[in-house]
């Protein structure tokens, strides 16, 4: 693993963003710990013995996700573009299949059931669209249509399919990503405000068209009714206090639905307290800022835009999940990246991070200078 080694692992280690990778490893470790804490509550109840089936499955998902992350991080920028196109097409096709063959839960179809494993294809639309939009916006060649319009045309089928499922939260996350990509590409501020106004109009329409959206918003705005899940989540944080009640000692988690996925942050708050919640929030902040900073230093416009978009995918999803858990946002079934239980979410976010690491890989400037110095004197590569 020294700098002079030419094997795959050494080459990868000395060219990848190690600080971002370490932050991801820490988040994955926290996620596995919380999977063991939440699994008995998710498989049992206050008076029913649970088991660690979810934790065992999460270990398997993690091994696959780490392989996906490592494999994606080895790609060249051109290969990242190709992979993103294939993933977007596959994710869109899978999302269409969900409408006909997916399992229906509470009036929504979002998963394809494969027995031991359920796949949510829409999870893969976000990172792949970020890369595709960056490829369009960064292309110096003239296009028959304005490039923002081209990216909208690419995104439109995904938006239509998501609304048919319906998955309003994922739809607005995709729209927010699109707006952020246009902003990073230098779109005039007046157009950004117009897009924001359009998003507000769509949110209003969703409020009136989808009863579950209307119910969640009204519940969120009612000071006397926090809702069943949000109320229990807040009780879990209050029970945990600063340092938590200890691993496995939580009690509120046994009454909280989706405690292993959408409300895993509440488990962290109850059993490990504000201390671990703050660590998780800081790790996501560090990861988002780190990816944005590395993207800003990239050598070409495509890597800059794609890296920034991929960081937004992770940051927005984490913000929404934690915001819902502490009742700062209306309830929305969205997982916490790297931490919540679920193969689809973990694989998609691993692909997101793998793409980001691939686009930001380069040797430090000091190492480049050393290579140039040795080449002047006829030496080999350092």
- The pLDDT value recorded for residue 16 is 92
Tell me the backbone φ, ψ of residue 210, rounded to 5 degrees.
-115, 110
- The pLDDT value recorded for residue 382 is 35
Q: How many residues does the chain have?
A: 382
Distance between CA atoms of residues 224 and 201, nearest Å: 28
Answer yes or no: are the C-beta atoms of 259 and 267 closer than 8 Å: yes
- The closest of 244, 222, 136 to 185, measured between CA atoms, is 136
Answer yes or no: are the C-beta atoms of 121 and 97 closer than 8 Å: yes
- The closest of 335, 356, 332 to 346, measured between CA atoms, is 335
Pairing mode, strands 103-105 and 108-113? antiparallel
- The pLDDT value recorded for residue 314 is 95
- The closest of 365, 274, 276 to 34, measured between CA atoms, is 276
- The pLDDT value recorded for residue 23 is 96
Tell me the backbone φ, ψ of residue 103, rounded to 5 degrees.
-75, 135
Angle formed by the axes of helices 77-101 and 125-138, to 10°? 140
Q: What single DSSP character describes residue 253?
A: G
CB atoms within 10 A of CB 369: 12
Helix spans in the chain (H): 8-15, 18-43, 53-73, 77-101, 125-138, 147-164, 168-184, 189-209, 211-221, 228-240, 264-296, 301-325, 343-360, 365-376
- The pLDDT value recorded for residue 199 is 75
- The pLDDT value recorded for residue 47 is 64
CA distances (Å), origin 41, targets 60, 122, 204, 254, 320: 20, 27, 36, 5, 23
Distance between CA atoms of residues 194 and 215, nearest Å: 28
- The pLDDT value recorded for residue 222 is 67
Residue-by-residue pLDDT tens, the chain, 382 positions: 666 677 788 888 888 999 999 999 999 999 999 999 989 888 877 667 778 888 999 999 999 999 999 999 999 999 999 999 999 999 999 999 998 888 777 667 888 888 777 889 999 999 999 999 999 999 988 888 889 999 999 999 999 999 888 888 888 899 999 999 999 988 877 777 787 777 778 778 877 777 767 777 776 666 666 667 888 889 999 999 999 999 888 888 888 888 888 899 999 999 999 999 999 999 999 999 999 999 998 888 999 999 999 999 999 999 999 999 998 888 777 899 999 998 899 999 999 999 999 999 875 554 444 444 444 444 444 3
Distance between CA atoms of residues 20 and 293, nearest Å: 11
Distance between CA atoms of residues 276 and 242, nearest Å: 9
Distance between CA atoms of residues 221 and 223, nearest Å: 6
CB atoms within 10 A of CB 8: 10
The first and second tokens of residue 38, run together, are 């939440």
For residue 108, give the H/E element and its range.
strand 108-113
- The pLDDT value recorded for residue 374 is 43
- The pLDDT value recorded for residue 213 is 72
């Amino acid at each position: 693993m020294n700098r002079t080694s030419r094997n795959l692992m050494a080459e990868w280690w000395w060219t990848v963003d190690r600080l971002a990778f370490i932050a991801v490893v820490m988040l994955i470790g926290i996620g596995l710990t919380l999977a063991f804490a939440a699994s008995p509550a998710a498989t049992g109840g206050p008076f029913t013995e649970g088991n660690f089936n979810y934790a065992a499955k999460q270990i398997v998902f993690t091994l696959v996700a780490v392989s996906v992350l490592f494999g994606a991080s080895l790609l060249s920028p051109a290969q990242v573009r190709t992979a993103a196109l294939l993933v977007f097409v596959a994710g869109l096709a899978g999302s269409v299949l969900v409408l006909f063959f997916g399992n229906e839960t509470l009036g929504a179809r979002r998963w394809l059931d494969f027995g031991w494993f359920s796949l949510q294809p829409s999870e893969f639309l976000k990172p792949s669209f970020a890369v595709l939009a960056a490829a369009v916006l960064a292309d110096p060649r003239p296009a028959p249509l304005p490039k923002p319009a081209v990216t909208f045309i690419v995104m439109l089928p995904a938006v239509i399919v998501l609304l048919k499922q319906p998955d309003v939260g994922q739809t607005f996350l995709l729209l927010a990503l699109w707006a952020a990509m246009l902003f990073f590409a230098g779109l005039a501020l007046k157009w950004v405000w117009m897009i924001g106004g359009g998003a507000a109009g769509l949110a209003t329409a969703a409020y009136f068209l989808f009863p579950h959206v209307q119910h969640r918003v009204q519940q969120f705005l009612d000071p006397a009714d926090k809702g069943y899940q949000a109320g229990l989540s807040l009780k879990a944080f209050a029970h945990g206090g600063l340092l938590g009640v200890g691993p496995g000692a939580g009690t509120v988690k046994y009454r909280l639905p989706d405690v292993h996925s959408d409300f895993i942050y509440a488990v962290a708050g109850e059993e490990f307290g504000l201390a671990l919640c703050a660590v998780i929030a800081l790790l996501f902040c560090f990861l988002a800022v780190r990816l944005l900073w590395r993207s800003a230093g990239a050598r070409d416009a495509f890597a800059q835009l794609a890296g920034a978009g991929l960081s937004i995918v992770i940051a927005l999803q984490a913000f929404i999940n934690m915001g819902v858990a502490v009742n700062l946002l209306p309830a929305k079934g969205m997982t916490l990246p790297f931490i919540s239980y679920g193969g689809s979410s973990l694989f998609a976010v691993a692909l997101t991070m793998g793409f980001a690491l691939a686009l930001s890989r380069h040797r430090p400037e000091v190492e480049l200078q050393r290579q140039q110095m040795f080449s002047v004197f006829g030496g080999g590569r350092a």
